Amino acid sequence: MKKVRIVSLVPSLSELVWDLGLGDKLVGCTNFCIAPRELQKKAKIVGGTKDPDLALITDLNPSHILVNEEENRLEDALKLKELAKVVETFPRSAEDVPQMIQQISIEFGVAEKGQLLADKIKAAISELKKMSAGKEKIKFAYFIWNRPWMLASSDTYISRMLALAGFENIADGSERYPQVKLEDLEKKNPNILFFSSEPWPFRKRDGMQLRDEWPSHPPIHLIDGKLMSWYGSTTLEALTQLKSYLRDQENHLINPMELR
């Protein structure tokens, strides 16, 4: 049997593999794989999620390559299948994550660790749903980009995560990351605007720009894009932070943006 040598082209899966105790098996990762901090000192950087160095990956002689249907290109995944077993993932909501974790942990012989994490996520989802049940929906717009303004729509992992906590996305069209005009958003009367920390690193200047273009805008809150979009180990932390938010407790997920 070929020795287990993992190349991960998905930052959240690199973190998951590490947290499952498989860090010594992770021989390659992308330059976006920033968690844990020591990962890039242990594994070889093989390029980005959209432009991996296939020759370098080949030299690493991997047994498994982890990819995501949205983050990675199909043509790369097809070529990589000639090198190793490609494990494809695409969880569309936090509720899909436990099964994905179980799949990966079984594949690499750490089923017990994977089951423990999967069970914790299931319990956190159940508790969050109970906390938000019966409460009035909070209508939101989740900004992921500026110049032009772009949102995450309801057909995204991000939106479904917030829906567990009683939020309702006003961007409900078929396009997953639509470009929008602020005057159109105003007509939908959102209660809150989220400025994500990634992929566009929203700052105070972006808030001031929005205020100039939309003087009567609802409150803007900064939100941790990693917690909202990474799946795996981070899913549990995101659910925990959402519960703290609903309890009006201190959290490091959602915080008001001060524009004064």
Domain ranges of the chain: 6-90, 133-256
Pick 6-90's CATH classification: 3.50.50.60, 3.40.50.1980, 3.30.1060.10, 3.30.750.24.
Answer: 3.40.50.1980
CATH number of 133-256: 3.40.50.1980
Q: Do domains 6-90 and 133-256 have the same CATH topology?
A: yes
Closest CA to 232 of 101, 42, 123, 105: 101
- Provide CB contacts within 8 A for 147, sequence distance 6+: none
d(CA 118, CA 31): 27
Neighbours of 146 (CB within 10 A): 16
Each residue's pLDDT tens digit in the chain (260 positions)?
Answer: 579 999 999 999 999 999 999 999 999 999 999 999 999 999 999 999 999 999 999 999 999 999 999 999 999 999 999 999 999 999 999 999 999 999 999 999 999 999 999 999 999 999 999 999 988 999 999 999 999 999 999 999 999 999 999 999 999 988 999 999 999 999 999 999 999 999 999 999 999 999 999 999 999 999 999 999 999 999 999 999 999 999 999 999 999 998 87
Q: What would the two tokens of residue 245 be?
A: 């938010």
